[in-house]
Amino acid sequence: MEIVGRGFLARNLTPLAAAHPSAVVFAAGVSSAHSTSETGFAREAALLYDVLDRCRARGRKLVYFSTCGGGLYGTGDGPSLESGPVFPTTPYGRHKLAMEGVLRSSGVDALVLRLAYTVGREQRGHQLVPSLLRQIRSGTVRVHRDARRDLVHVDDVVAVVDALLCRDTRNEVVNVASGFAVPVEDIVAHLESRLGTKAERDYADVTDDHAVSNAKLLRLLPPAARPGFHADYYRSVIDRYLDGPTDAPPTKGMP
């Protein structure tokens, strides 16, 4: 497997480097869902075009990481499905949707994985759990009132990539999420419990209770490869993050 990128996802995918020789995994580009950087979006697009040219010339399949956040799906009733409507509400969501469109018209076999809030070692500091940890340790944490987040551990993402490639899954768009969007307040509370501290809340009225369906993912995976998703899965994600190897300082390179 060729891994394009050198940041969080790319480093965690390294154990699969010797597997799946016909696959290229695109783990590079803009890493923040809050980004509005046209330069960053253009840089990712240019790199993706080059990688697609190589995949087309060599007959390789491409795995691309998109997002299943509200910035892509928009708001709506019920968990969002891959086959349902998509109404991006952020520049990042519009960029990811545009890149998915490039893949569809590229002539390259592609697997698009729309990731939930991925958590794990060597994660960059601006991402959700590291950011909340830093705020809690400072004594004050900002909490978006009524907001929910679906957390998934990066080790489970890697296992999903491996299992889907083993099944030669191609030309599919798949939500990679636990299926349980939990209140941010609950995530903060569990972090505080593990740290043995309590931070002052700075509440912001930014409602984002978006949820996605992982039914397609579970249908595509063999039973033995399905992660143990359940209502308290987010606690195990946080526990594995805190109990894992000490993270290296956040990098400034590509994700």
pLDDT tens-place string over residues 214-234: 999 999 999 999 999 999 999
- Whole-number pLDDT of residue 29: 80
CATH at residue 158: 3.40.50.720
Number of domains making up the chain: 1
**13 lies in some domain:** yes
Beta-carbon contacts of residue 156 (< 8 Å; ≥ 6 apart): 227
Res. 246 pLDDT band, cuts 50 70 90: low
**41 lies in some domain:** yes
- pTM for the model stands at 0.92
Domain limits for position 46: 2-243
- Whole-number pLDDT of residue 145: 87
Residues in the chain: 255
**68 lies in some domain:** yes
Q: Each residue of 38-62: pLDDT tens digit?
A: 898 999 999 999 999 999 999 999 9
**254 lies in some domain:** no
**252 lies in some domain:** no
**124 lies in some domain:** yes
**248 lies in some domain:** no
Q: Phi and psi dihedrals of 4, rounded to 5?
A: -95, 120
The CB density around residue 101, as the number of other CB atoms within 10 Å, is 10
**253 lies in some domain:** no
The CB density around residue 199, as the number of other CB atoms within 10 Å, is 19
